[in-house]
Amino acid sequence: MKLKDKVCIITGAGSGIGRAAARRFAAEGARIMAADISAEGLRETADAVNADMPDSVAICQTDVSDASQVEHLVSETVSRLGRLDVIYSNAGIMREGSVVDLPEDQWDQLFGVNVKGCFLLGKYGIPEMRKVGGGAIVITASANSFYAESDIAGYCATKGAVMQLTRAMAIDHGPEGIRVNCICPGWIETPMALPFLEEVPEGREFANKIAPLGRCGKPEEVAAVAVFLASDDARFVTAAAYNVDGGWTAGMTKAMALI
């Protein structure tokens, strides 16, 4: 019960890593406010988790790129659950294209969700953490925080920004007892990755080859690291970026040879 009685916001909780995190956080004793832009996804997550761990998950439909909605999410969490201890800022989107091909509105969408969403959760969440003497923020970054890939210029830019935002927030708010870390997944079996893994010829084979462990990751494996970073087991860990990529970023020379 690493998160017993902790109140946690998890964004992007309607599917993938966020849904797996909601289940794992609940199993560790947390009370969760699950947020996602998809009301249907949120209901499915809450129904699935609460069926096994009753009353563990409340929901709040939220567009994390909208300041008023994020402010409401935080106030609703405190109103309904009493406090705020942990934020798992996991919501993210992918848009493909080079800077020439990517439409400007999609560039703005990428930064709105992937970067501004993290900023807004910190902006409205940190004052509530101060009231309880500290807290933990975990952010989903990416292997693309370290390495760029072709035809996803905007996505790579956002994930580089997220890593630096993690470090800046950790420096600013460490003296207040607020730790900020990020997780950098590689290829994970999520709805975001499935179009490549299942629809691109040899996509899954390629994703398996570039990781020294020889496979894609599972959302539950990312959620396990999020639990660690949110818990007191990581009480001396801040400003860190944890690779959960099967060794992909360590073996980029091999990965590039396979392209």
Q: Which residues are catalytic?
A: 155
Pick the closest to residue 181 from 120, 119, 230, 125 (CA basis): 230
Query: Exposure pattern of 99-121 as b/e (b: 16+ CB <10 Å)?
Result: eeebeeebbebbbbbbbbbbbbb
Burial grade of 71 (CB within 10 A; 0-12, 13-18, 19 or more): middle
Q: What is the dihedral of CA 22, 25, 26, 31, to 10 degrees?
A: -90
- CA-CA distance, 77 to 196, in Å (whole number)? 35
User: Is 163 in contact with 182 (CB distance < 8 Å)?
Assistant: yes
DSSP label of 250: G
